[in-house]
């Protein structure tokens, strides 16, 4: 497998091997959908970008500390022969690793990671709990409420959009649409 991106099923199986929590699995699926949407938008490799999104947190349930995550996962990916682009993407999603976000893929994984979680939180406070009913303005309004989903770093969301060169509203729309496209898989 060295150097090649494994097929999606292999990547998903790796996620499931290490991640039993359905919400963490759903997070991987949400980030994957957003990464694939941006790969299409930028004319990049959807399978590569999707793989990074799907497994960026695969080690988190087993290794949740900043000392271990995502480093343990990166060790596993290296052992399995994942390409360096995937490893760099996984490292780039977490600011505490110190990995500079240099490529478009690295900037994108950082940009979509926190936002997908925030969009899920916004969806879950709606009476219907349906992502199809969430609007960009609702997401922006909730971003201003510091007590709502307080663990989500709003600065990371804004910085991510800036690094991509995309207006915040447009960034939210891209991610929201990508996630709405897999609403059933996300349970939203």
**Residues 147-162: what's their mean pLDDT?**
96
Give the domain extent around 23.
Answer: 8-186
Average pLDDT over residues 29-55: 98
Say if 152 falls within a structural domain: yes
Neighbours of 125 (CB within 10 A): 12
Over residues 51-55, the mean pLDDT reads 98
Helices (H), the chain: 8-18, 22-42, 46-55, 71-79, 84-92, 104-124, 136-144, 154-164, 168-180, 183-186
Percent of the chain with pLDDT over 90: 97
Average pLDDT over residues 36-43: 98
Residue 92 lies in a domain: yes
Look at residue 71 and tell me if it is in a domain.
yes
| Residue 1 domain-assigned (yes or no) | no
Tell whether 3 is covered by a domain.
no
CATH number of domain containing 23: 1.10.3210
Tens of pLDDT along 64-83? Answer: 999 999 999 999 999 999 99
Query: Which pLDDT score is estimated for 4?
Result: 81
181 within domain boundaries: yes
Instruction: With respect to residue 2, please indicate whether it lies within any of the assigned structural domains.
Output: no
In this prediction, residue 1 carries a pLDDT of 42
Predicted structure pTM score: 0.96
Residue 93 lies in a domain: yes
Number of domains in the chain: 1
Dist. CA 135–CA 18, nearest whole Å: 33
Q: What is the pLDDT of residues 99-143, one digit of tens each?
A: 999 999 999 999 999 999 999 999 999 999 999 999 999 999 999
């Amino acid at each position: 497998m060295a150097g090649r991106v494994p097929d999606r099923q292999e990547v998903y199986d790796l996620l499931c091997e290490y991640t039993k929590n359905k919400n963490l699995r759903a997070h991987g699926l949400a980030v994957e959908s957003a990464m694939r949407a941006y790969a299409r938008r930028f004319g990049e490799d959807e399978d590569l970008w999707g793989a990074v999104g799907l497994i960026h947190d695969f080690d988190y349930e087993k290794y949740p500390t900043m000392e271990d995550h995502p480093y343990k996962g990166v060790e596993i990916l290296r052992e399995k022969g994942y390409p360096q682009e995937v490893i760099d993407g996984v490292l780039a999603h977490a600011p505490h690793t110190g990995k500079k976000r240099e490529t478009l893929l690295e900037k994108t994984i950082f940009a979509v990671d926190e936002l997908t979680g925030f969009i899920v939180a916004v969806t879950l406070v709606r009476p219907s709990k349906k992502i199809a009913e969430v609007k960009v303005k609702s997401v922006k309004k909730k971003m201003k409420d510091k007590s709502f989903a307080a663990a989500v770093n709003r600065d990371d969301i804004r910085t991510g959009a800036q690094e991509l060169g995309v207006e915040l509203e447009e960034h939210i729309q891209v991610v929201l649409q990508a996630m709405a496209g897999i609403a059933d898989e996300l349970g939203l």
